[in-house]
Structure 1
Amino acid sequence: MPDGAPLLKPRTLRDPAALVEAGLVPPGAEPALRRVAEHFAIAVTPAVQALIDPADPADPIARQYVPDAAELVTLLAERSDPTSDAPFTPVKGVVHRYPDRALLKPLLACPVYCRFCFRREVVGPDGGLLTEAELDAALDWFAATPQVKEAVLTGGDPLMLSPRRLAYIVRRLSAIPHLDIIRLHSRVPVAAPERVNEALVGALESEKALFLCVHANHAREFSPAAKAGMRALTRGGVALLGQSVLLRGVNDSAQELENLFRAMLASQVKPYYLHQLDRAPGTARFEVPIAEGRQLLRQLRGRVSGLAWPTYVLDLPNGAGKAPLGPDFAQEAAQAWLIDGPLDHAQHHYPVRKDDAQEAEF
């Protein structure tokens, strides 16, 4: 850079031309990516750009965030609303599938747009910010629904709200007597860690139990800036959980999953869910078969502690809920259980107690 030239402030890349200029995609890919951009939002933050190795065509960070022409292909099994939000929306911004918890979606904007997102057809930089009246109606719904004990803020990314608006939501939810838990799901701590400042941490102050579920899929996403933000959150009393998606080319090996979960724990993030991919349009290149996912989790058992062990789940279509996918280590046999040892990989015979089998003698 010539002496005296102005320093350019890093910016979020939001279109194919900017991706080409940054060296993240070749110039020849731009026409196809313009067609992708007509359907699905693009955003690659400076923090994410810094993690990408442009020289690596298989870079696992780029694969999550940089668009690909394969997104133009929709398979028959893929659905625009794979988790069925729409049928379970009593008022705008609320999704109520489970009896004891409900989602609150105050906006549909994110710091980055994951190429595998299950809400990819509705999220975007201009999308879905509830008006004051709509937000109040959604919060009133929570107050009027006593069976709901947990409010889950999602979207979009709730940490993209201004601290003032976020604090207002947390205060309103905290004041509802029957709510015990407030949970937020966010990419911000890893994708835009500069947003985790004193004002944001203060906005999360609550008398109720409050959890922040950090979405990360690769160990490299836990940059020094991300770790600093998570330390600030934990010092502010926010309990951190980890949420990941099993993704081909990103974390589809036992070693990469181990690295990811260890990186989470090192930042005081408890691995919570490992999701099987939701079949949103144009996401087939990311899918790992369930049988392979189960085997990967089986390989991890014994290699990492229980703290690093998430629940592997599939969010079933039609609003049927999240089903645990295993793996299984025990089989019932006559008067015994046959249990696989995670350390010796042998099958162990574990007898059933007589009183368990209702054979106690009197």
Structure 2
Amino acid sequence: MKNWWEKRDPSGWIDLAGESIVRPQDLPARLSADTLRRDAVAAVFPMKVNPYVLSLIQSAEDPIGLQFIPHPAELEDTGRSSDPLAEERQSPAPQVIHRYPHRVVLLVSNQCAVHCRFCMRKRRMADPGQVSHALIERGIAYIRGNASITEVILSGGDPLMLGDDQLLSILQDLRGIPQVRLLRMHTRVPAVCPRRITESLARRMSAFHPLYINIHFNHPLELTPAAMTACHRLADAGIPLGSQTVLLKGINDDARVLCQLMEKLLFNRIRPYYIHQVDRVPGTAHFQVPIQKSLQLMNGLRGKLSGLAMPHLMIDLPGGGGKVALTPEVVVARQKDHWLVRNWEGKIYTYPCG
């Protein structure tokens, strides 16, 4: 019998993933500049660009190309830790990251539809295989045996790179654990391989409510008609959608671009959730936006966006310290019986103490 990833799917998403470009020298002519240096990067940090994403890239230096095509700058900071968030140290069972008391991440896949050049798990890119059923079962057994775990996040790789039956089997196993009340899924598939989201898959996943899906979008250009159709299918099935965005220098570190992205997400029933500082893994220094600028960008969004479209700016602390929300300083000082508070325009107002 063929493995699930070898079975043909009517939507064609498996074929699409299998036709990915993995060598810079195979890129079309419009993207072929500096091939030798890009090949050197891909030898260290593997490349994967599927035909759908390739169709969105007009230039290696455009907002989509910069996210997926190897860049020589990636080899300028290879001395960083490959696991700065200490995920491996906080893994008490196979495929499990247990950082917070009541919540775990279950890594159900090693594969993604594309390779993002800024991936926090770049260390896993070279693993071509899928996670074995036995390892996933051991992870689920750990969750089942820990009464404090009430929330499970499916991640990877990308959980939607699993076949329908395998993914739904995992969801069913988790839903059968009495203490697990909330399921989440983190994915980039609707943005980079939208045909994967079939009406059948959306309908079948709706049986596992409450199931929340956070989708990784970084730029308005990613919200194509195909991507929006994929998201609408999930939303129509009653699955609440959120977004996670990585703040990337030269791609989306601009208040106008972020406003467009957050509004477009909200108008398509995707609630903006997090904007992340890029994690400090090897090969990502050229993407990093200084925190001071990030705070200024967030302040620039306030007053321009609906409160429903306003995300949280997050950093993930090195060494396994977890996520922390960063906010512009709005409380300026206390003066006797009132506070001085700065609004979104930068104006100072008084607010009574008490």
Alignment pair present for 1:23 and 2:30? yes
SS in 2 for 1:44: coil
The residue type equivalent to 2:338 in the other structure is A
Alignment pair present for 1:64 and 2:93? no
SS in 2 for 1:173: helix
User: Where does residue 4 of structure 2 map in the other structure?
Assistant: none
User: Where does residue 299 of structure 1 map in the other structure?
Assistant: 300
Out of 49, 55, 73, the residue aligned to residue 50 of structure 1 is: 55
User: Where does residue 197 of structure 1 map in the other structure?
Assistant: 198
Instruction: Tell me the TM-score normalized by structure 1.
Output: 0.89
How do 1:1-362 residues align onto structure 2 when only pairs under 5 Å count? 11-19=19-27, 21-26=28-33, 29-54=34-59, 58-74=61-77, 78-124=80-126, 126-127=128-129, 129-334=130-335, 335-342=337-344, 344-352=345-353, 356=354
C-alpha distance in 1 between matches for 2:216 and 2:272? 10
The residue type equivalent to 1:13 in the other structure is I
The residue type equivalent to 2:325 in the other structure is P
Q: CA deviation digits over 1:99-130, x for unaligned, max 9?
A: 11000001111001111111112134614x22
**Are the equivalent residues in 2 in contact too, given 1:274–1:311 (CA < 8 A)?**
yes
C-alpha distance in 1 between matches for 2:233 and 2:29? 31
SS in 1 for 2:315: strand
CA positional deviation for 1:70? 1.2
Q: CA deviation digits over 1:284-311, x for unaligned, max 9?
A: 1100000000000001100001111111
C-alpha distance in 2 between matches for 1:243 and 1:213? 6
After TM superposition, the runs of 4+ consecutive aligned structure 1 residues lying more than 6 A away are none
The residue type equivalent to 1:224 in the other structure is P
Counting aligned pairs with the same residue, the percent is 36
**Are the equivalent residues in 1 in contact too, given 2:168–2:205 (CA < 8 A)?**
yes
Change (3 A) 1:125 1:12: farther
**Are the equivalent residues in 1 in contact too, given 2:73–2:286 (CA < 8 A)?**
yes
CA positional deviation for 1:135? 1.2
**Are the equivalent residues in 2 in contact too, given 1:108–1:124 (CA < 8 A)?**
no
**Are the equivalent residues in 1 in contact too, given 2:21–2:50 (CA < 8 A)?**
yes
**Are the equivalent residues in 1 in contact too, given 2:103–2:150 (CA < 8 A)?**
yes
Change (3 A) 1:177 1:241: same
C-alpha distance in 2 between matches for 1:152 and 1:350? 40
CA positional deviation for 1:75? 5.7
The residue type equivalent to 1:65 in the other structure is F
| Structure 2 spans left out of the alignment, 5+ residues | 1-14
C-alpha distance in 1 between matches for 2:300 and 2:160? 35
Q: CA deviation digits over 1:319-346, x for unaligned, max 9?
A: 111011112222340321211122x431
C-alpha distance in 2 between matches for 1:98 and 1:140? 18
CA positional deviation for 1:82? 1.8
**Are the equivalent residues in 2 in contact too, given 1:106–1:158 (CA < 8 A)?**
yes
**Are the equivalent residues in 1 in contact too, given 2:110–2:131 (CA < 8 A)?**
no
SS in 1 for 2:64: helix
Q: CA deviation digits over 1:13-65, x for unaligned, max 9?
A: 2111212x353231xx22222221222121112221222223xx631111111
C-alpha distance in 2 between matches for 1:206 and 1:316? 35
SS in 2 for 1:214: strand
C-alpha distance in 1 between matches for 2:126 and 2:206? 28
CA positional deviation for 1:203? 4.1
SS in 1 for 2:30: coil
**Are the equivalent residues in 2 in contact too, given 1:243–1:274 (CA < 8 A)?**
yes
